[in-house]
Structure 1
Amino acid sequence: MPDDTLPDDTLPDSTLLWYIPNQTHPGHRGEPAVAEHNGLDHLTEHARALEDDGWDGALLGTSWGRPDTFTVATALAARTTTFRPLIAVRPGYWRPAHLAASAATLDHLTGGRVDVNIVSGQDDLAAYGDAEGDPAHRYARTREFLQIVRRLWTQDEVTYEGEHFSVRGSRLGIRPADVAGRRHPRLYFGGASDAAQRVAATEADVQLFWGEPLDDVAERIARLRALALELGREHDPLEFGLRVTTVVRDTTEEAWDAAEAKVAQMAAAAGAQPSAGHRPAAVGQQRLLDLAARGEVLDGNLYTTPGRFGGEGAATTWLVGSPQDVAASLRRYQDLGVTHFVLSDTPYLEEIRRQGRQLLPLLRG
């Protein structure tokens, strides 16, 4: 059972975000099918609920075939006042100068409410005209993408000659908002392979982790900090974030009942058989799936079973418990150096409100 003794400290300096799946089809991860689920009014209801219940904003999911993340983020920013979209984008779909100009414009118009999540994993490349499938080349391209974007946000004129991208005499007409020392949108990044870690250590602002055990996250943070020194990082120190599903109920017992019921539904949908097939290409996803061999529950309330029945990404492992249980777990990640949290559970709107009212006050203080 989780330790019921809570530390007095909260997470006042942390960024607390939710997740808007940005799906074309309804029913994502058990979400009830809702008419116009991706219509502007329904998405605005989510964004305004996030504002009302104390969240900083939300990550907008991306992949080919989903609504365009930047368009959705712009629409939601126009209908809100404090909501911060973390906009997921892919090098190969975007050119760096185009992304730098678009993000700077929206950041300027919203008074500094934009952040960007750079996604380098495989997608339906051919569908949008991208041919770079080799992981090493893809991360080399991401490095150049990040370098050009940051320089355009911070320098008067940029000339850059790379293997994958180049710009000559490039200037932005509008710069990102300079708010309380924040000179430009934060560049979030994920990935667990060696190539991804080297990019994060030198070029990202925030490295996002999936829901891994505390010891594993501590090891990865130490590795990234060592790489930053070894490779000569030129920016502010790298920050760290956690993207994880949080199943929160009034009591520990109710939360575990809810989590086990959700897994039972996943098992029924999978024919009660653990997911099988080829190993995922993504190193980070395979790390999550391998956790099940170490135990069904790790660190007291990190539930690994969802990954056995089709859970992927942030849905592979869940933090489960009462608001006090989950708050204590998040503080333990913060003690390791994690200061950005992207949480979620379904039904999304209901959980925005539940966790906003029950969990966030324990984190905000």
Structure 2
Amino acid sequence: MSHVTRPDVPEISWFSALCDDDYEFLGVPDASLAASWPHCRDIVQAADRGGFDNVLLPSGYQLGIDSTAFAAAISTHTDDINLLLAVRMGEMWLPQLARQLASIDQFSNGRLTINIISSDIPGEALDSAPRYQRTREWMQVLRKLLDRESIDFHGEYVNLELDPPRVGTTTGTCPPFYFGGFSPAAKDVAAAEADVFLTWPDTVASVGDTVTEMNALARERYDRDILCGLRAHVIVRETEAEARAAAERLVSKLDADTGDAIRNKSLDAASVGVSRQAELRESAADDGFVEDNLWTGVGRARSGAGAAIVGDPDQVVAKLRAYQEAGVSAFILSGYTHQAECDLVAEHVLPAIEHAPIRPRFTSDLSTGQTTGSA
């Protein structure tokens, strides 16, 4: 069964631009916004102060700074916010990865969550089926290691026998796994192994169809529950006209060749999910809106999540609630520039929506060491 319980209210998270993805004008590099310890630290601390539940720390190889090293550092410079650390399956020896993750969870006093990445490892390329099989095996063994279980696993990509590790998380159990992917192989792995399936921005109806599909896959194939989350950008201003003007300003200096180059830098640039974002962008109206308050212009210079919720505070809140009613239990939001938009969302959106972190099924009373059930 899943390691998390279904929440009554959504988790609302922010994003730290560890992969050189921060701009005042999309496609126009700005040295002051490049990924660095001070810049990304300031974004995470703004999200912590602003009351966000979690923050995604993305992983890149050619881009930005290392997510695992950053998570270890920022864990002691934040107070309440959970840390959603992106880790690439196959990139590191599994027992060492488990030690690092358990240590970071201890540094943060139990605030670690894990974003599973299944893209190619730099310098190699695998077809989809074997790559997701490797991801499946890594997720299975990593969960066991973080649950402090002994390992006797012999698969296609993992061949390991180990006693339970000494170092563990604060709860003694694996933090929640967040995972996204849109190919049949990716969805099957998510249904079997993930706690939260992440989808990219789409129409409310399409996101609802994805939630229905993933719930059915998890229950019918694997007799388990899965939560669904939405990764999207936000542009919120006091009026809709101001929000639309901010969106237009964001892409006002972007040319097509630069946008193509930015999109093609990512290791997942040819994935099924990225293709769907391109389809969404192509189906939009001339102003880039594909439905009320959903603008696809961000995708002109981004390989991943390519649409933004754009509007005044009431419109943005209404859109998030529409996605929630469609079955979304977690939101990972971002905006440009990341710290400025973080402050705007914290001011105008978070107070209007009841929200809370997704918690593991079990939490530990650190004062007694006893493990108890958690709602």
Interval of TM-score (by shorter of Structure 1 and Structure 2): 0.7 to 0.9
User: Under a length normalisation based on structure 1, what TM-score does the superposition of the two structures give?
Assistant: 0.85
The aligned runs of 1:27-38 (5 Å cut-off) are: 27=23, 29=26, 33-35=30-32, 37-38=34-35
Gap regions ≥5 residues in structure 1: 1-10
The aligned runs of 1:213-292 (5 Å cut-off) are: 213-233=203-223, 235=224, 237-267=225-255, 270=258, 280-292=269-281
Q: Distance in 1 between matches of 2:87 and 2:295?
A: 29
Q: Who is 2:158 aligned against? A: 165
Corresponding residue to 2:170 among 164, 174, 177? 177
Q: What's the secondary structure of 2:85's corresponding residue?
A: strand
| 1:240 maps to amino acid | C
Q: Who is 2:313 aligned against? A: 323
Offset at residue 148 of structure 1 (A)? 0.4
Q: Who is 2:179 aligned against? A: 189
Which structure is higher in RCO with an 8 Å CA cutoff and minimum separation 6? 2
Q: Is the 8 A contact 2:95 2:145 kept in 1?
A: yes
Q: Is the 8 A contact 1:206 1:239 kept in 2?
A: yes
Q: Who is 1:7 aligned against? A: none
Corresponding residue to 1:310 among 291, 301, 315? 301
Corresponding residue to 1:151 among 135, 144, 152? 144
Q: Who is 2:133 aligned against? A: 140
Question: Structure 1 pair 228/57, CA: closer, same or farther in 2 (3 Å)?
Answer: closer
Offset at residue 112 of structure 1 (A)? 1.0
Q: Who is 2:14 aligned against? A: 18
Q: Who is 1:295 aligned against? A: 284
| 2:155 maps to amino acid | G
Q: Who is 2:71 aligned against? A: 73
Offset at residue 251 of structure 1 (A)? 0.7
Higher relative helix content: 1
Q: What's the secondary structure of 2:331's corresponding residue?
A: strand
Q: Is the 8 A contact 1:32 1:347 kept in 2?
A: no
| 2:12 maps to amino acid | L
Which deviates more from structure 2 when the two are superposed, residues 146-155 or residues 318-327? 146-155
Q: Is the 8 A contact 2:191 2:226 kept in 1?
A: yes
Q: Is the 8 A contact 1:210 1:242 kept in 2?
A: yes
Q: What's the secondary structure of 2:165's corresponding residue?
A: coil
Corresponding residue to 2:41 among 44, 69, 78? 44
Offset at residue 133 of structure 1 (A)? 1.6
Q: Distance in 2 between matches of 1:244 and 1:252?
A: 18
Offset at residue 226 of structure 1 (A)? 1.8
Offset at residue 319 of structure 1 (A)? 1.0
Q: Distance in 2 between matches of 1:176 and 1:31?
A: 41
Q: Distance in 2 between matches of 1:339 and 1:14?
A: 5
Identity, % of aligned positions? 31
Q: Distance in 2 between matches of 1:35 and 1:290?
A: 33
Q: Distance in 1 between matches of 2:157 and 2:324?
A: 37
Question: Structure 1 pair 264/40, CA: closer, same or farther in 2 (3 Å)?
Answer: closer
Question: Structure 1 pair 146/332, CA: closer, same or farther in 2 (3 Å)?
Answer: same
Q: Distance in 1 between matches of 2:280 and 2:34?
A: 33
Q: Who is 1:61 aligned against? A: 58
Q: Distance in 2 between matches of 1:214 and 1:78?
A: 38
Q: Who is 1:82 aligned against? A: 80
Gap regions ≥5 residues in structure 2: 1-6, 356-375
Deviations 1:232-253 (A, max 9, x none): 24x5x11111111111111111
User: Under a length normalisation based on structure 2, what TM-score does the superposition of the two structures give?
Assistant: 0.83
Offset at residue 26 of structure 1 (A)? 7.1
Q: Distance in 2 between matches of 1:203 and 1:44?
A: 31
Residue 96 of structure 2 is aligned to residue 107 of structure 1: no
Offset at residue 347 of structure 1 (A)? 1.1
Offset at residue 304 of structure 1 (A)? 2.3
Question: Structure 1 pair 305/41, CA: closer, same or farther in 2 (3 Å)?
Answer: closer
Question: Structure 1 pair 137/24, CA: closer, same or farther in 2 (3 Å)?
Answer: same
Q: Distance in 1 between matches of 2:32 and 2:284?
A: 40
Q: Is the 8 A contact 2:41 2:74 kept in 1?
A: yes
CA RMSD of aligned residues (A): 2.7
Question: Structure 1 pair 39/310, CA: closer, same or farther in 2 (3 Å)?
Answer: closer
| 2:80 maps to amino acid | T
Offset at residue 330 of structure 1 (A)? 0.7
